[in-house]
Structure 1
Amino acid sequence: MEDDSILIRRRDRIARGDSVRDLDRSLGRGDLLSVAPGAYVERTTWSELSPVRRHRVRVLASLERLKTDPVLSHFSAAAYWGLDIWQPWPSTVDILVQDGARSSGSFRRHTGDIARHDTLALGDFSVTTVAQTAVDIALLVPFHEAVVTMDSALRVGAGDSLTTRAELVAAAERMRGLPGSRRAFAASDFATHLAESPLESVSRVRMMEAGFPAPELQREFIDRHGFRAFVDFWWPEYGIIGEADGQLKYGGLGSADPEAARRAVIAEKNRENTLRRLCSGFARWEHADVVKPGRLSSVLRTAGLPSTRRSPS
C-alpha cells in the first residue's frame, strides 16, 4: 500500500527520543489522531484524505498488529482495490479467519471455509480478489448496495482486466447456498461497467424497482456547432435524458477558488441548456432523490418517462 509514509508509529517516535508524555500531549491537543493502537496520523494530513484512503490507512496500521498473516476481505479488500461502497467506510478492518475467533477491537473477523474464497498473496498478507470481494459484500448488504460494488468492480476492471462478469458469476457460484448468495447472483447479472458513480448505480436499481424502462448508459450527444457531451441515462424511445448529480460534471464546484466555482456553474448550466435543446425531456436528480422513497420516480415522471407501476400522485 502507498499509505505507509503518513503513518506515525509510537515505537518509532520513542526510539527517536520522543517521550510518552510528548506523544500524549500531541494526542491531547489533537495534533495527532489515533488510527490504530500505537499508530497515528497528523490531524492536518487526515483532514485531506478521502474516506476510502482513511480506511486504507486504518487497514495498514491494524494489520501490523496481527501475529499471523491475515486475509483482507469485504470492505477492507474493497478499499484496497479501489472499489465503491454505498455505506460509510467502517472503522474496523475486515479479515477472513478459518476458526471461530470473535470480532474485537480493530478487527471484524469473518469465519467460514477460506478455501471457497479466491485470494491473492501480497507479501505479508493476502487479499480477496476483486470479484470475490464484490461477491462477499453482496452476501451482506441490500441489493442496491451490492450493485454499487459490482458496478465498480466491472468499471475498475474494464481497462486493466482486473475482473469480468464471468469472474463475478464464478465467485457467486463458489458462495452458492450461503445466505445472500441469490442476491449476489442477481447483482452480478444486473451489474455494468458503464455506471460511473455509486449514485448512478443506485439510480439504476431504483428505476428497475419502480418499473421504468431500462435506459442506455453514457450516450454521447453532438450538435452541429461542435458540442459534445456524454449523458448518464438516455431513453431514445421517449427522447429523455437523465443526469445523476449533474452539478459534478465539471470540476471546480467544490473548489476554494470562488472564480473557479463560478466558471464551473456557468459551464454546467450551458451544458444543460444545450442538452435540453437536443431532447424532449430532461431529468436531473441528486443523492437525496434516490434515498427518499418515491423521489426519483417523481422526477422521472415529471420529465415524461412512463412507468409500469401505479403512482399515488
Structure 2
Amino acid sequence: MPRLDPEVVVSRESALAVSGFPLLGAWPTRVHVVTSRRPRDRVSAHLHQHAGELHDDEVSTVQGLRVAVPRRAAVDVARLLDLRGGVVVLDHGLATGAFSRPDLERVLAEGGRVQGSRRAAASIAFSQAGAESPGESLSRVVIHSAGLRPPELQKRFPAIGPLVGIVDFWWPCCGVIGEFDGEVKYRDAAMRGGRSPEQVVIDEKLREDALRAMPGVRAFVRWNWSDAFRGAPLLRKLAAAHVC
C-alpha cells in the first residue's frame, strides 16, 4: 500500500481482513484495492486494482491505511460468495455491531442491479446477529438449506433464575439443544480463563449434564467444523435427534 497512490483504498476481502472479519475458506492471495485513477481493473501477482470510486463516508482509516468501511466491503464480498460464505461475513458484522441490516440494504440498493446482487440480497436477508462464531453461521446455512425448522439462537437456560447455560441452538419443537463445538475454547488460553484444556473438558461435561436435566430438554447434539463444513455429518446428527 505505501507504494501505491495515496488515494487507493483497501477493498473487498482485504478490507475485511484489516477490520478483523472472518472469511470461510482461504483468503485471497492478492491484496484487493479500489482506485478511481484506472479506467479498468489491473491484476498483478500480488495486487488486484479494481476500477471504481468510493464515497467519502465509505472510507475509514485503519492502522494508517485507507480502508473501505465494513458495510461496503461486506456487501461487495457477499456479491461474490455463496450463501455460506456471505452469511459468515454478514453475521460477524451484525454480531459485533460493525453495521446493521439497514446499512447493508442501503449499500446494496445504492450499487444498483450489478452482478451478484441477488446473492448478496439473499445473504443479507438470512444474516442474524445471534450467531457468535463463523462455525455457528455456517451451521445455520446448512440447517436452512436442508429445510429443517429454524432454531432459536443463544437460548438462555432457564429463561429466568440462576443461569445454567446459554446454548448456540435450541429447537423448542422437539426439545433439542445444538452446540457448535469449536476447538478454540480448548486451545486458546485467553478463552480458557486460566483453566487447563482438561479442566475445560470437565466443565463442559458438567454444563452439558446440567442442561440435559433442564425441563423440556430431550436431546443434546454437538458438532464440529468438519461436520458443519461437509454438511451431511451435521444433518445426520440432527436427524438422529429427530430434528425436522
Q: Report the CA distance between 1:223 and its aligned residue.
A: 9.3
Larger-Rg structure:
1
CA RMSD of aligned residues (A): 2.6
Distance 2:55 2:114 in 1: 11
C-alpha distance in 2 between matches for 1:264 and 1:229: 15
1:69 to partner: Cα distance: 2.4
- Name structure 1 gaps, 5 residues minimum: 1-62, 307-313
Normalised by the size of structure 2, how large is the TM-score?
0.87
- Offset of 1:296 from its aligned partner? 1.4
Contact 1:117 1:174 in 2 (8 A): no
- Please say if 1:119 is aligned against 2:58: yes
1:243-278 per-residue CA deviation (whole Å, 9 max, x = no partner) reads 011665xx44455x9x71111111111111211222
Secondary structure (helix, strand or coil) at the match of 1:83 reads coil
Shift of 1:184: 0.8
Q: Counterpart of 2:104?
A: 168
* Equivalences, count: 236
Deviations 1:210-251 (A, max 9, x none): 010011100011399945211000011211100011665xx4
Of the three residues 172, 179, 191, the one matched with 1:243 is: 179
SS at match of 1:122: strand
> Equivalents in 2 of 1:275, 1:120: separation in Å?
46
272 and 121 in structure 1: CA distance in 2 versus 1, 3 angstrom threshold = closer
Cα-to-partner distance string for 1:126-161 (whole Å, 9 max, x where unaligned)? 32221111100011111110000010111121xxxx
User: Which structure is higher in RCO with an 8 Å CA cutoff and minimum separation 6?
Assistant: 2
Structure 1 counterpart of 2:53, which letter?
A: I
Deviation at 1:104, TM superposition (A): 0.8
1:87 aligns with 2:22: no
SS for the counterpart of 1:131 is helix
Give the AA of the match of 2:61.
Answer: L
- 1:220 is matched with which residue? 156
2:199 is aligned to 263
Question: Which of 167, 179, 184 is the equivalent residue of 2:120?
Answer: 184
| Percent identity for Structure 1 against Structure 2 | 33
Q: 1:132 to 1:223 in 2, by over 3 A?
A: closer
Structure 2 unaligned residues grouped into runs of 5+: none
Distance 2:132 2:143 in 1: 16
